[in-house]
Structure 1
Amino acid sequence: MAHPDGETATSRACAKKGVSMGISSFSNYSITEVRSAGTNVAPIIHVMQLYTMKDRDLQLRIIRDAELAGCTAIFLTADSPVLGVRYNEWRNDFRTPAGLAFPIIELTTERIQNQTHDSGFTAFNDDAHNWTRDIPWLRSVTKMQIWIKGVLTAEDTLLAVQYGCDGIIVSNHGGRQLDGVPATIDALPECVAAANGRIRVHVDGGIRTGTDIFKALALGAECCWVGRPAIWGLAYDGQAGVERMLEILHDEFRRCMQLTGCRKVSDITKASLGIVSAYGPLARL
């Protein structure tokens, strides 16, 4: 919707800048098209964002396509048993515009136009997903890494460790699922503490500047992912817009490191951060 080249433009930009990319199940291009667009520019790591689906055969086809294309991991979305309350979508009867399809989940533009986004999601998504059933099943059908996207608590971090997941993404779905959930930067420290080095921890949601990336790394995240900034870059100037967005984040991050005396990423620690204390001015974290 943001640009005709969509995910293929993003893939080329990420490959050019040496950045990994997640492929959405709602991509307007196939896994192969997105992956090929990037690898034709430079080596790039792609991961496959996946939902737990009622149609296991469809879910398995997506996994096989991702494996064949060379994706390295599944990012299983855990915070969407149902969609959150989205009054604007309902009020405006939002539907993906005609002419756009979702080939990965095998939805044509005609099918999309004949259902609301909410009803379409409910039709294919399995709201009964759970750790005990779904993680062992994924392990039985793929050798790709399995990450859980949508973790906000220490308890779920410990479950991810217990079930042998390769990593978690601390995420609140861009704040679009449940009103009142914490910002991911606030949830990150307890998840990192619970992981205790046994599982990798990434974060997304609200990353808008290089200083946001610095803060997340200082609080223990290994990597930051962005979503909306990529869309804004696409809307601005397609592939070149996404490249510019990545350049801005990199430049801001680099300058933040310089201004805090960090010569390498491993120098970034909590010692560089402060918090606003309820009992007075800024305090060292």
Structure 2
Amino acid sequence: MSGPAPDPAPVPAAPAGPAVCLADVERLAADRLPAEVRDFVAGGSGDESVQAANRAALDRVRLVPRVLAGTDVADPSGPLLRGTAAMPVVVAPMAYQRLMHPDGELAAARAAAKAGIPYAISTLSSYPLEEIAAVGGTSWFQLYWQRDRAQVLDLVRRAEEAGCEALVVTVDVPVMGRRLRDLRNGFTLPADVTAANLGGVPLAATHTRQPGASGVATHTGQAFDPAIGWADLAWLRERTTMPLVLKGVLDPRDAVRAVEIGAEAVVVSNHGGRQLAGAPASVTALPPVVEAVGGRCSVLLDSGIRSGTDVLRALALGADGVLLGRPVLWGLAADGEAGAARVFELLQAELREALVLSGCPDLGAARDLATVLG
């Protein structure tokens, strides 16, 4: 059984000048958010050791640069699933972004569109998926499997009609992990923040404060089907032409099964340390998954990406791209659309520099880099 989570570490003071890295953006956001909202975003499950493992494992991956590459510029753009992107980054699906800023998902999606990267719309978005997709750019839709299969199909049809270009099924949340910060805070959503895509589903729990309980966890327990299985995904595969992406895969055997049911991508992810306490770091699980699928589907890495160097690490270990989560929320909290745009600007600048310093003119060369564990 997990022990109690440590008290949150004091948040360092916000930078006096403009943000020059993603950690600066997080510090700026911390000054603008209520403590319990900051905990909702920053917290993990159990003792939060999985979050620490994500960071430690990424930091251990050391890139072996090539020299005399004969270039002083690098192109971070390339193919991503069935499309192309300005860099190999997708905005991860994240719930209730109006907690960060009144424009929420609309602001983040606009910033992603201007940055030329896909934006994954969450089932639990606080604006309707149609409004988010309408801002332009490339939209993917993330699906949490609902107890009502008719509602599952309705969400998929709505995503298709809105022009979403991929369907991301989150497969690691049969139930929500015990997020102790939220339980201690009795976390609930403010009245003006709702799961805008789920009309008709009981939502009162998200706004009802109970000591020692999370309103968000209570609601997901009511709405999500914990018994989702491979047969459900095969059923879904037959009912949509959107590329199917499975998010939350850590075991290579599950990645192989995903390929067998027709998935075009898997996302190696431990849900940012928010689900199974004691799960491995996502980047540790990445190489075995890449080897198991053998190029038969795309492989993306999620959980813990905090810099352009992290993106390059993922590519060198065989990933086709990454999902970026919490930093986008910190950007929204810091300065709405402009804050999210700053996150993407910093990440791309860091990736370009990392490519040049490692002797890689493009993403293809990045995937040939050697790595060692430091």
TM surpasses 0.5: yes
User: 1:90 matched to which residue of 2?
Assistant: 183
- 1:165 pairs, out of 247, 256, 263, with 263
Task: Kindly state the Cα deviation for residue 178 of structure 1 after the two structures are TM-superposed.
Answer: 1.1
| Higher relative contact order structure (alpha carbons within 8 Å, sequence separation ≥ 6) | 2
User: 1:113 matched to which residue of 2?
Assistant: 207
Pairs aligned (count): 270
- 1:248 pairs, out of 331, 338, 346, with 346
Q: Any residues of structure 2 matched to 1:1-285 within 5 Å, and which?
A: 1-37=99-135, 39=136, 44-106=137-199, 110=204, 112-114=206-208, 116-131=215-230, 133-269=231-367, 271-276=369-374
Task: Kindly state the Cα deviation for residue 112 of structure 1 after the two structures are TM-superposed.
Answer: 2.9
TM (normalized to structure 1)? 0.91
Task: Kindly state the Cα deviation for residue 109 of structure 1 after the two structures are TM-superposed.
Answer: 6.7
User: 1:281 matched to which residue of 2?
Assistant: none
CA distance in 1, matches of 2:202, 2:118: 28
CA distance in 1, matches of 2:202, 2:127: 12
Which stretch shows the higher mean deviation, 192-201 or 104-113? 104-113
**3-state DSSP class of the match of 1:230?**
helix
**3-state DSSP class of the match of 1:128?**
coil
The code of the aligned residue for 1:145 comes to: P
Deviations 1:39-66 (A, max 9, x none): 1xxxx22111101111112111111110
Q: Which runs of 5+ in 1 are unaligned?
A: 277-285
**3-state DSSP class of the match of 2:127?**
coil
Q: Which runs of 5+ in 2 are unaligned?
A: 1-98, 210-214
Which stretch shows the higher mean deviation, 156-165 or 25-34? 156-165
CA distance in 2, matches of 1:30, 1:271: 41
TM (normalized to structure 2)? 0.70
CA distance in 2, matches of 1:59, 1:105: 10
Identity %: 40
Task: Kindly state the Cα deviation for residue 93 of structure 1 after the two structures are TM-superposed.
Answer: 1.2
Deviations 1:16-61 (A, max 9, x none): 1101110011110011110112x1xxxx221111011111121111
Q: Is the 8 A contact 1:13 1:240 kept in 2?
A: yes
The code of the aligned residue for 1:260 comes to: S
User: 1:283 matched to which residue of 2?
Assistant: none
Q: Is the 8 A contact 1:47 1:75 kept in 2?
A: yes
Q: Is the 8 A contact 1:101 1:108 kept in 2?
A: no
User: 2:61 matched to which residue of 1?
Assistant: none
More helix by share: 1
Task: Kindly state the Cα deviation for residue 74 of structure 1 after the two structures are TM-superposed.
Answer: 1.0
The code of the aligned residue for 1:124 comes to: A
CA distance in 2, matches of 1:215, 1:252: 12
